[in-house]
Chains A and B, each alone.
Chain A
């Protein structure tokens, strides 16, 4: 099997480097794309979602959340640059569920919230939904 490697970078840290993969699912602005070995050179914009790296027979599958950023496929190297990223093992589904519940309760409670507060809770809810989605992978 032909492998290629994946790097996942954020401004704050190198989340993962040189992960071997035989197939890769990337959420992009025009929908999810599947990268296999010998893919054409490609630069795409990411959308918020779950990035899945399938390691094939020898390596484990790994799942990451990605947000705003781009991905670059160049020869046998895929580089993902995202604003933030977390791996499935780093997150707790229970906490995400709780966070989502709290955020939605505040948004739907009918209390007077300022614009920045509404934005804050919407973002919290969005982050929590992404984590829940990631934890189900």
Chain B
């Protein structure tokens, strides 16, 4: 049976935890706002680039690019984007679960590359480990990430792997994200969409230099932009998930403090009652 002193200590330490979790919640909320801002400001570029590529490749006939060709190769590179820090709810574990599920289902020979250390720590031992990427700051910049992308594209170009995929948490809202595996290379162009675009642009553009040359530079560009968008999604999802986790922790702390205070007060009341009874019965016995 806990005594009052123990309970007081416990309440004090829970209050400490409450302070930490509420501070972390506030920090995550601020970071989430920033990450969301980053997503909204990079989306127009990514979308515009994608439409442009689709339009050009729909209008230009007989164009092929290395990145568009399906290769008959059973090797695959999978880049897993996770966080460097924990305490963010199911963010890393659900991504790890998704990667495991994907690896169990695929019939390809997959080598796994990592950004962020948390998922790597969970699954490194059970997968074919490729490489771990580290950056100066916690979140890589566009240029740093482009370097990673180039390395993976190199594997694809040299024929070492037939596909490049990325596993990340897609950001839906502040409290929800979806772990998913997305194909980066070869870049797939939808046939239906192509026909739609051909109908939409009955005229052709004037190109300078040749359209094929423009596509040659644009296709690697979309590849890196897609990768960057995935990373931004991952970062936003991480902060959102941490904010939700810390919000739960704050609620739980408050509940625990309430329950413990109640228990402590009951004990205190019981002690006072016992003391009173002792005093009263002592006085009674003197009178009697």
Contacts and interface: CB of A to CB of B under 8 A. Distances in A.
Interface of A: 7, 9-14, 17, 28-30, 40-45, 70, 72, 74, 79, 81, 83
A15 B125 CA distance: 44
A18 B209 CA distance: 26
B208 A41 contact: no
29 contacts: A7-B48, A9-B48, A11-B42, A11-B45, A11-B228, A12-B41, A13-B41, A13-B42, A14-B41, A28-B208, A30-B209, A41-B206, A42-B205, A43-B56, A43-B205, A43-B207, A43-B208, A43-B211, A45-B208, A45-B213, A45-B214, A45-B217, A70-B52, A70-B218, A72-B48, A81-B45, A81-B48, A81-B49, A81-B52
A126 B45 CA distance: 25
A17 B48 CA distance: 13
Contacts of A14: 41, 44-45
Given A9-B45, A11-B45, A14-B41, A42 B218 contact: no
A72 B52 contact: yes
Contacts of B41: 12-14
Interface residues of B, number: 25
A17 to B, nearest CB: 8
B46 A11 contact: yes
Contacts of B46: 11
A70 B38 contact: no
B206 A40 contact: yes
Contacts of A41: 203-206
A12 B146 CA distance: 13
Nearest to A41: B205
Interface string B206-230: 1111010110011000000100100
Contact of A29 (B48, B142, B208, B225): B208
A9 B44 contact: yes
B42 A42 contact: no
Contacts of A74: 205
A29 B211 CA distance: 13
Nearest to A79: B48
A12 B207 contact: no
Contacts of A30: 208-209
B42 A44 contact: no
B48 A42 contact: no
Contact of A44 (B44, B49, B203, B208): B208
Nearest to A44: B208
A32 to B, nearest CB: 12
Q: Which 7 A-B pairs have the closest CB atoms?
A: A13-B41, A9-B45, A41-B205, A44-B208, A43-B205, A42-B206, A11-B142
A11 B209 CA distance: 23
Nearest to A42: B206
A17 B45 CA distance: 12
Nearest to A80: B48
B266 to A, nearest CB: 58
A24 B49 CA distance: 21
A44 B38 CA distance: 27
Contacts of B204: 41
B207 A44 contact: yes
Interface in B19-41: 38, 41
A116 to B, nearest CB: 12
Nearest to B145: A11
Nearest to B217: A45
Contacts of B203: 41
Contacts of B52: 43, 70, 72, 81
